[in-house]
Amino acid sequence: MPLNRGLSEDQILLRETVRKFAEEEIHHKSKELDEKEEFSYELTKGMSDLGLLGALIPEQYGGSALDYLSYIIAVEEVSRIDGSQGATVAAHNSLGTGPLIQFGNQEQKDKYLPKLAEGNLWGFGLTEPEAGSDAGNTQTTAVKDGDDWIINGSKIFITNSATDITIGSTVLAKTGESSDGKSELSCFIVENDAKGFTQNSMHGKMMWRGSNTGELHFEDVRVHKSAMLGKQGDGFKQMLATLDKGRLSIAAMGLGLAQGALDYTVKYSMERKTFGKPIGTYQANSFKMADVEMGLELSRNYLYDVCRMAEEGLKITKEGAIAKLYCSELAHTSANHCVQILGGYGLMKEYDAEKYYRDQKLLEIGEGTSEIQRIVISRALGLFE
């Protein structure tokens, strides 16, 4: 298969295994979960049993220790069938376990990583009501009190943060001001059962209705100094480093959704006939699908190459932004063409097209909007200070 060019036998086997699970276990449940706006513990356990929740966790903690490309392939295949389940896997690994693996000390890793590898979830507390792309405007505070820090504030739109199997979140908080007057930001590990810490699931979402999204509230939440992740004042750098790699998982979700929408469109267009011919044979339709196929080839090759760069420890700030931007906008194009070619049927919940259309939108917003990605790329060209 063209999409397996340059992959190892293990990576090809992983793709086949995850694809089989997604098609046989996720697909027939995804519409009901979407309709009910319900998080599936059963599917999450199934993905955990495949090793997907411990994808990036080292073997010594019970994880799968996948290389980054293998992990991205897994996210791609789950997202090809359902963005909600793809979001659960992507957020848990890139944003949940990622900072603990990269910045946690030995005691923190020993305490949390085995639990996360076995199927518990972890949140990434960055976004606030008044601080999304502008993370430097974080209003959540942490004030030193002896050997403790007292946290007050709130977070919003935090994936995986408010389920019964979520055991904690990494939280960005303002711990002071630097010499230039900017906020000093630090990251803290906050367990879900900490006194004064509450998590509420958010409902009424347009997309990813089968994933968990939470609001986090901190009211005099006291954590020991040992709960700080890394050094005081390193929070902003830690979050940026996390997002660099996290954007690759969003790119993988975009790639998977674009592929799923195209597969669905091709199948439908060769079954649906007008004027005695399959509608896929009309140039107006076939050219749309040809454009998406071209985009899939280009985006897959590029994303996989950036994953190899990440595995080698190379800086990928620009490349991650390009991959995330291109794949998310390709998902938009593919889903839009899917609805257009299905016509009126594309607007009906009975068909998968409208769900692809809804689910793709967050990919242009989450982990840095398309506009922010263009700023990152422009900055790499020397166009911003």
Q: What is the pLDDT of residue 132?
A: 74
Average of per-residue pLDDT across 115-138? 88
The predicted pLDDT at position 385 comes to 65
Supply 325's token pair. 């931007």
Instruction: Parse the chain into domains and list their residue ranges.
Output: 2-121, 122-235, 237-380
Dump pLDDT digits (tens) for 241-292.
998 889 999 999 999 999 999 999 999 999 999 999 999 999 999 999 999 9
CATH number of 237-380: 1.20.140.10
Distance CA 249, CA 95 (A): 10
In percent, how much of the chain has pLDDT > 90?
91
State the virtual CA torsion across 18, 23, 26, 27 in degrees, nearest 10: 150
Grade residue 29 by pLDDT with cuts at 50, 70 and 90: very high
With a cut of 90, say whether residue 135 has pLDDT above it: no
Q: How many Cβ atoms from other residues are within 10 Å of residue 20's Cβ?
A: 11
Q: What is the pLDDT of residue 4?
A: 80
| Nearest CA-CA partner of 168 in 95, 74, 87 | 95
Consecutive H or E run containing 274 = strand 273-274
With H, G, I as helix, E, B as strand and everything else as coil, classify residue 253: helix
> Which DSSP helix (H) or strand (E) runs through 222?
strand 213-224
At residue 34 the predicted structure's pLDDT band, cuts being 50, 70 and 90, is very high
Amino acid letter at 183? S
Contacts of 2 (CB under 8 A, 6+ apart): 297
Q: Note the pLDDT tens digit of each residue in 211-240.
A: 999 999 999 999 999 999 999 999 999 998
Domain 2-121 top-level CATH class: mainly alpha
Mean pLDDT of the chain: 95
Pairing state of beta strands 166-177 and 121-125? parallel
pTM: 0.94
Higher per-residue confidence, 330 vs 137 = 330
Domain 122-235 identical in fold to domain 237-380: no
Whether 379 has a pLDDT exceeding 60, the answer reads: yes
Q: Is 371 a catalytic residue?
A: no
Residue 265: predicted pLDDT: 98
Task: Spell out the CATH class of 122-235.
Answer: mainly beta
Active-site choice (130, 367, 371, 385): 367
Residues in the chain: 385
Look up residue 283 and give its two tokens: 């140039």
Residues 148-171 have pLDDT tens digits of 999 999 999 999 999 999 999 999
Bridge partners of 221? 151
pLDDT at 59 exceeding the cut of 70: yes
**Beta bridge partners of residue 122, listed in sequence order:** 168
- What is the spatial distance between Cα 296 and Cα 254, in angstroms, rounded to a whole number? 10
Residue 212 · residue 163 · CB < 8 Å:
yes
Q: Which amino acid is at 327?
A: C
Task: Give me the pLDDT at residue 181, please.
Answer: 76
Residue 1 has pLDDT above 70, yes or no: no
**pLDDT attached to residue 131:** 77
Mean pLDDT of 334-342: 98
Nearest 5°: the CA angle 21, 253, 324 is 160
Other Cβ atoms less than 10 A from the Cβ of 380: the count is 14
What residues have CB less than 8 Å from 218, skipping those under 6 apart? 140, 151, 152, 153, 154, 171, 190, 196, 197
In the chain, the percentage of residues whose pLDDT exceeds 70 is 99
Partners of 217 in beta bridges: 154, 198
